[in-house]
Structure 1
């Protein structure tokens, strides 16, 4: 069985944690990065079992060029897995966000994921020229892919879209035996939330939302300290790639009770809880 896996967004955070876990278990990882410096750093850290792929997921030509590089390296053997991890989080009040900010959020998390999937799916066994067991696609969603949070609306929109894309793909790819599994992390110690400080910009920090925005920044800072280590998500990815019958969606969170309540209580009840926590009730 093939042990070759492609992981996007490999330079930091969950992507790096996934590469670390897979390399420790003997997998060869093709990891996407956006700079030569990151390529060199990861190659030194993970050795000969790591091959850097230099592309931004929004650059469709570069993505397809990288898929040809992997195709040549596989030598006709099907790719075991594609881990669609690359993503960004652009926080902001939806009524005040600029169109280019929302477009960038969707370009990376939605269209970028589609670019990568279209480029690498043939290598998983959709192309009949590849021999061996069909591979799997792991989609990195979020607990925010089924429940939205104030000031993360653009990010939530992208993850809700990713959930729908994943479900449609899973059903379309049954024809080829290629499974699609969603991993939905809760808070993780990752640089993705470093842009939370943009909530201090005058367009956000002034006016009736100022107090709620400060509370939101505190929650984000707390997640950077108390979130799960990236390797915990990497282990979930490993299990999604290797289990005989993995669940179609797996939540990995340090706060399972909170997640359960958020997804099972009536929506209006959750609305009131969030409003109380952030101070969003009308005065």
Structure 2
């Protein structure tokens, strides 16, 4: 009995491996727009796809970031200034993309732009701190997608949305986790709707990686700013050690960004992309499996491993 089950599992894995190795043809004629290409995942993916011959359209927030990327890539790669929090900027970028892709449409959209600050325990933050993150990571992602969806449908292409393992398990405060939960929900509904048009939607769920928005000095600064504006009574309830432990947690990041961009590339170039990609061993072996556990178990585990406030019940 068990041997038959193992044999069937082995055949299924072999078939899946074979299907996922198959790539789409004509990559050198396909256009892909990537948001957030100034640094991190976006910059690396843009160079990675450019090296494979795809026609990369890189959205950058600053001209300095765009210039750095152009200097590191081939003449095929083109850049456009794109602020995903500005409807005018998104509309202008969509018109720019439409001019370049023409009747072929847009093969791929990678919604990579994102921020993680302000980030701190929820009690330390204000409403506008949450809104600032949600506007970039979720609302901006939705508006960019909607503005380009007709071009993607024309090409029967791909949408790749960058979520996170904290889009499954919310384990720290601020707008980052809620925004990634929202990305998961939007992507799931979009994938179901777009199946009728031959458009495939994939979600990337990275673990903790060191980019310009995570594991950086900016995160620590945002934590300190939130701490400094709190009333003394609230500070006393948490204690200085809690602040120090939070700072230490922020430094535990994986520097190998290619684990994430490899998933993005596969989602864009494979004939049979996955619906979800877990990137990083922490995502595969810890966070994704834990997301299926009862809340009582995950709550107990994260309470045990997270910083402890000075005043507890």
Question: Where do 5+ consecutive residues of structure 1 fail to align?
Answer: none
CA contact (8 A) 2:259 2:280 kept: no
CA contact (8 A) 1:18 1:230 kept: no
CA contact (8 A) 2:115 2:213 kept: yes
Give the superposition deviation at 1:261.
4.4
- State which of 94, 99, 107 in structure 1 corresponds to 2:122: 94
Aligned pair count reads 273
Whole-Å separation in 2 of the counterparts to 1:33 and 1:260: 31
CA contact (8 A) 2:37 2:66 kept: no
Is 1:175 the counterpart of 2:184? The answer is no
Is 1:208 the counterpart of 2:260? The answer is no
**CA, structure 1 residues 24+209, in 2 after alignment: closer, same or farther (shift >3 Å)?**
farther
CA contact (8 A) 2:82 2:90 kept: yes
Q: How does 1:42-121 map to 2 (within 5 A)?
A: 42-90=69-117, 91-121=119-149
Map Cα deviations across residues 30-71 of structure 1 (whole Å, 9 max, x no partner): 111111111211111112121111020011111111111111
Q: How does 1:261-272 map to 2 (within 5 A)?
A: 261-272=289-300
The residue matched to 2:281 in structure 1 has which SS? coil
Question: Where do 5+ consecutive residues of structure 2 fail to align?
Answer: 1-25
Higher deviation after alignment, 63-72 or 194-203 = 194-203
Q: CA RMSD in A?
A: 1.8
Map Cα deviations across residues 204-248 of structure 1 (whole Å, 9 max, x no partner): 69333343332222121121xxx0422221111110112222221
Is 1:10 the counterpart of 2:30? The answer is no
1:33 counterpart residue number? 60
The residue matched to 2:202 in structure 1 has which SS? strand
CA contact (8 A) 2:161 2:202 kept: yes
The residue matched to 2:251 in structure 1 has which SS? helix
Q: How does 1:127-138 map to 2 (within 5 A)?
A: 130=154, 133-138=155-160
CA contact (8 A) 1:19 1:234 kept: no
Is 1:185 the counterpart of 2:212? The answer is no
The residue matched to 2:36 in structure 1 has which SS? coil
Whole-Å separation in 1 of the counterparts to 2:48 and 2:258: 6
Q: How does 1:243-282 map to 2 (within 5 A)?
A: 243-255=270-282, 256-280=284-308, 282=312
Is 1:199 the counterpart of 2:223? The answer is yes
Give the superposition deviation at 1:260.
4.2
Whole-Å separation in 2 of the counterparts to 1:172 and 1:265: 29
The residue matched to 1:182 in structure 2 has which SS? strand
Whole-Å separation in 2 of the counterparts to 1:119 and 1:260: 31
1:159 counterpart residue number? 180
- TM (norm. structure 2) is 0.82
Give the superposition deviation at 1:163.
0.4
CA contact (8 A) 1:212 1:278 kept: no
